[in-house]
A and B are shown apart, each in its own frame.
Chain A
Amino acid sequence: MSAFVYNRRVRDAFWQVAVWAAVVGLIAYFVRNASENMAKAGIASGFDFLGRTSGIELPFLLTRYTPQSSILDLLWAGVVNTMTVAFIAIVAATLLGFALGIARLSRNWLLSSLAGGYVEVVRNIPVLFFVLFWYFAVIAALPGPREAIGIFAVAFLSNRGLTVPTPLATGAFAAAALASAISIAAQFVLAAWVRHRRNRTGRGFPLWTSGAVLIAGVPLVAFAAAIAATPWDTPVLRGFNYRGGFVLIPEFVALVAALATYAAAFIAEIVRGGILAVPKGQLEAARALGLGPGQVLRLVVIPQALRVMVPPLTSQYLNVLKNSSLGAAIGFPELMNVFVGSALNITGQAVEIIAITLAIYLVIGLAVSALMNWYNAKVALVTQ
């Protein structure tokens, strides 16, 4: 008997079963209470409400949603808005963050101190502060449409938001996208062929130059041509507001600006840490081999720095995605706001609505991490 009780495998099995049983029991208890409470309060359950007409007006739309659409369409409109905000904010934060991180490493004392000061100020303030500040203190304080700040005379920033021109036809853009895709694919094929030839004959190829042309140059020219060839609906001031174009509402502009300026401080630290993590000996060795400054950066510093930077960058990108839910605090119709806010108000089915919302954030988050993990595996150190 005691041999059985003291058997390690028996004890292991016992503890695992016991902990799981306790957790499952607790959840069952919660579910029972919830169903009792909901029955008492007369709250419906199930997912039938998704098919009901929503009746909610959305101030910012990228889908074909109308107030006559179903709640499922409302949910989709919210998801699209969330992903749009998160995507634009991530791109802006990455650009700003890289600039700040490199500025912080500058030999110039003033530049590095200014970048350091920005990082120290921003990192110690709540992100909600940024969202409210940009919305109530910055965007609300902008001049009205009549004195709007023109950006190259095509987009106009005012307290009514950012008015941008919209293309009246999309054919040229589809062609440009296709051309870019072919060009980028060509670079990958070329890279594979160069690798194959180098392994066989040892002959090199200016892959960076071809990459600059095929990945950046061709798409740039293609889209520039598309922009020139497409007729545009440009915003024009009529009376007190703009006619034509697409209005990025103040909530959108404030949310993107807040998320980008906030995340940039954290990305700057990641960039700085990544570059500093490259051992000095690597630079010295590269110079000793006769590589020029550009080659040292391209072939030695960047590949090693990226390896350190990718995992923390992933979690920053996920933070931007999650923080985009703060749009709810200023009334931007993203997932949290349209679903946990509006849809909950008309249906009252808290459990289902929260479960769907959490599940969507988890799925988007897992997709982003999977993408970044794939990239990380590509740049990671290959060890024997």
Chain B
Amino acid sequence: MTNRVTSLLRFARRRLFATPLDAVITLVCCWALARIAEPLLRWLVIDATFRGATRADCTGAGACWVFIRARFGQFVYGFYPIDQRWRVDLVAVLVIACTALLAVKRLPHRGALAAGLAVVMPPLVLFLFYGGFGLPVVETRDWGGLMLTLFIAIYAGLLAVPLGIVLALGRQSRLPAIRTLAVMFIEFWRGVPIIAVIFLASLILPLIVPSGIGVDRLARAVIGLALVVAAYMAEAVRGGLQAIPKGQSEAATALGLRYPAATVLIVLPQALRIALPAMTNEFIALLKNTSLVLIVSILDLLGVAQAALADPAWVGMTLEAYVFAGSIYWLLCFALSRASLRLERRAALR
């Protein structure tokens, strides 16, 4: 016990009160922290209202969490019909089950299973969300909230990763004309604002397909995001490719492998393992940028929160809505960034 006290005192002396200036800094920080933390805590918890059903139940000076409870369904599912929400829940259960299954290290045929699921799951989820073949159709304009945030991020990511790999290979190509093309493509999408690209996709995509073919509003946004993310993914993959010694592809060629086989079997597996943390960071950026679809009136989590503020029955819920939506984004992105950090450390140990 005394040991712990002395070590704590030593820590305070070395890290908080080493010099007079240090002591002043510590005291100023304490004062500022107390000034911010006290009202924040009051608003968030002490004076907040948690129980009730309407605006009238919120009588305290703090946050009105009743609003979040009343709107919780909309924050998660958007305007998805209430009697069909089980489909979204089923997808969530399926995705979590598959992830848990693949997390088992000693699973037989783990790689093949992962590849199989990667092929089967996206169309299956699309079918469950949209419907058809006996299930009632739910138009994409009714999708929203957290479900839509994750949907856009994952589908844009699924499109962006293969395209990004091709672009990265193109940029590293021996052939100058292909290199130029890849550089132009990558630098173009990296140089323009994402919301300009979302506008571009939603206005121009319907024009460039043959007349009579409609492109779904949500699909346009996903394609627009995917193009930008592919360019950023390409740079992440390029980092991995550059870390692979040239001897690897030369040895593969010496063994009689052609460029496609050498790339797919020898170079890419090693490069992607190195690039994985950087690619995870790009995915985090994508998850955050998903909120930009608000600009073409597609309501993801942030959009639903923004739209909920217009409800006359719940006036003045601005802070509550933002704090809730912001916390969800933060939790998702923080968890992913920790995962990326772990991947990086594990790669460094290899």
Which residues from chain A sit less than 8 Å from chain B, CB to CB?
12, 15-17, 19-20, 23, 30-31, 33-34, 36-38, 40, 106-111, 114, 120-121, 123-129, 132-133, 136-137, 140-141, 318, 322-326, 328-329, 336, 340, 344, 350-351, 354, 357-358, 361-362, 365-366
Contacts and interface: CB of A to CB of B under 8 A. Distances in A.
A124 B333 contact: yes
Given A123-B337, A351-B207, 4 more contacts: A33-B211, A110-B30, A124-B288, A126-B302
Contacts of B196: 325, 336, 340, 354, 357-358, 361
Given A33-B211, A120-B334, A129 B329 contact: yes
A366 B191 contact: yes
B291 A128 contact: yes
B103 interface: no
B211 A124 contact: no
Which secondary structure characterizes the binding site on chain B?
helix
Contact of B22 (A33, A107, A114, A340): A107
11 contacts: A19-B178, A23-B181, A33-B207, A33-B211, A34-B208, A40-B211, A108-B25, A124-B329, A129-B291, A137-B318, A322-B194
Interface string B290-303: 11101100000010
B337 A124 contact: yes
B26 A110 contact: yes
A109 B14 CA distance: 9
Contacts of A328: 195, 295
Per CB-CB distance, the 6 closest pairs between chain A and chain B, nearest first, are A124-B333, A16-B177, A109-B15, A30-B208, A325-B193, A322-B193
Interface stretch (B104-112, B198-206, B241-249): B198-206
B256 interface: no
Q: Which of B22, B181, B196, B284 has the most CB of A within 10 A?
A: B196
Nearest to B149: A126
Contact of A350 (B192, B207, B290, B295): B207
Contacts of A106: 25
B230 to A, nearest CB: 15
B274 interface: no
A378 B87 CA distance: 59
A34 B207 CA distance: 5
Contacts of A362: 188, 191-192
B132 to A, nearest CB: 27
Interface residues of B, number: 54
Nearest to B334: A124
A133 B326 contact: yes
Given A36-B211, A114-B29, A340 B326 contact: no
A318 B193 CA distance: 10
B124 interface: no
A132 B306 contact: yes
A136 to B, nearest CB: 5
A377 B211 CA distance: 51
B325 A129 contact: yes
B16 interface: yes
A107 B26 CA distance: 11
B330 interface: yes
A36 B213 CA distance: 13
B15 A33 contact: no
B138 interface: no
B302 to A, nearest CB: 6
B322 A132 contact: yes
B181 A336 contact: no
A126 B288 contact: yes
B349 interface: no
A12 B179 CA distance: 12
A357 B196 CA distance: 8
Contact of B207 (A23, A37, A133): A37
Nearest to A30: B208
Contact of B291 (A38, A111, A126): A126
Given A34-B208, A109-B16, A326 B178 contact: no
B242 to A, nearest CB: 15
B181 A20 contact: yes
Contacts of B140: none
B204 A351 contact: yes
Given A108-B25, A350-B207, A125 B333 contact: yes
Q: A107, A129, A344 — which one has the most chain B CB atoms within 10 A of its CB?
A: A129
A19 B30 CA distance: 63
A10 to B, nearest CB: 13
A355 B157 CA distance: 26
Contacts of B22: 107-108
A161 to B, nearest CB: 18
Contacts of A17: 177
B115 interface: no
Contacts of A20: 177, 181
B181 A354 contact: no
A196 to B, nearest CB: 41
B208 A108 contact: no
B337 to A, nearest CB: 6
B319 interface: yes
A12 B173 CA distance: 11
Given A125-B333, A336-B195, A354 B211 contact: no
A19 B207 contact: no
A183 to B, nearest CB: 33
Contacts of B172: none
B235 to A, nearest CB: 10
Contacts of B319: 137
Nearest to B200: A354
A136 B309 contact: yes
Nearest to B337: A124
B209 interface: yes
B312 interface: no
A106 B208 CA distance: 55
A110 B16 CA distance: 7
B25 A12 contact: no
